[in-house]
Chain A
Amino acid sequence: MVPEHTGSRATRIVGLLTLIGLVSVLVLGLVVTAPDEIQGDAARLIYVHVPVAIVMNVGFFVTALGSAMWLWKKSRWWDTIAVASAEIGVVFTALALATGMVWGRPTWGVYWTWDARLTSTALLLLLYLGYLVVRRLPSDAEVRNRRSAFVALLAFVDVPIVYYSVSWWRSLHQTATLSINTHIHGLMLFTLMLSMVVFLLAYAWMLTHRFRLAWLEEETESQGLEVAISERRAEAGVS
């Protein structure tokens, strides 16, 4: 029997692992790890801010990949992956901005500044919100998919700009958190790495559900269209 929801055995297993991982990150991040020598407890925000920003990048990479693959293969599967990942990417971009602002207040003294990293990230959010708006413009599916694929690929240009903004321009924001000469060690490093894995797992789980939901949305939309056409035909007396 086909279940009346978007879950499956695989999503239940991944979902359970994600939940256990998120609880572990909460305990390690808020209780077990020591405060930072310079930033104190405010540094605990690193365990959510950095993983959220990584998922944001992965989400938009998958959207760009799905869009490019749709332009090549014209497959509904790739278009659905692109839109599902874009919506999750938008949620995570908003969270990256929000947690960055909350972290900025105790460390920089302000919630917001027109810094290169912050500004380019805000632009990224607007670009992908625009992508989601383009998806909703009424049009033929093929036209909509092509239009949104080009918008997604254009918007993706901002992703490397966000990443390199801290190197290209003078920025309040620190440079890459993890590099070869990383200053994070021990339990802090472990918690950060664990959090990244757990948030990526959460992304995979959300993407699966969002993909299935987008598939259902398209099915109900085409069903509605078929009903409307048959009603118009009946009104006009066309068999």
Chain B
Amino acid sequence: MTDAGYVIAGYSIVFGSLTLYVVRMLLRGRSLSKQVPPEDRRWM
């Protein structure tokens, strides 16, 4: 593969960053859910 370093870097940046962002968001969601009464977190 030509320019393999650039291609792998591009894909790694996208998939790596999105994974970090999503994990952080889900963990924070779990943490805050415990602090809020059930009637205030009814998800449709």
Contacts and interface: CB of A to CB of B under 8 A. Distances in A.
Interface in A24-68: 26, 29-30, 35, 40-42, 44-45, 48-49, 52
B29 A209 contact: yes
A106 B36 contact: no
Given A40-B2, A219-B40, A4 B34 contact: yes
Most B CB within 10 A of own CB, among A4, A42, A98: A4
A231 interface: no
B22 A206 contact: yes
B6 A2 contact: no
Interface in B11-44: 11, 13-15, 17-18, 21-22, 25-26, 28-30, 32-36, 38, 40-44
Judged by DSSP, the binding face of A is helix
Contacts of A30: 7, 11
Given A35-B2, A48-B10, A102-B10, A4 B30 contact: yes
Interface residues of B, number: 32
Contact of A42 (B7, B14, B29, B44): B7
A95 B36 contact: no
Interface residues of A, number: 42
Interface of B: 1-4, 6-7, 9-11, 13-15, 17-18, 21-22, 25-26, 28-30, 32-36, 38, 40-44
Interface of A: 1-8, 22, 26, 29-30, 35, 40-42, 44-45, 48-49, 52, 91, 94-95, 98-99, 102-103, 105-106, 202, 206, 209-210, 212-213, 215-217, 219-220, 223
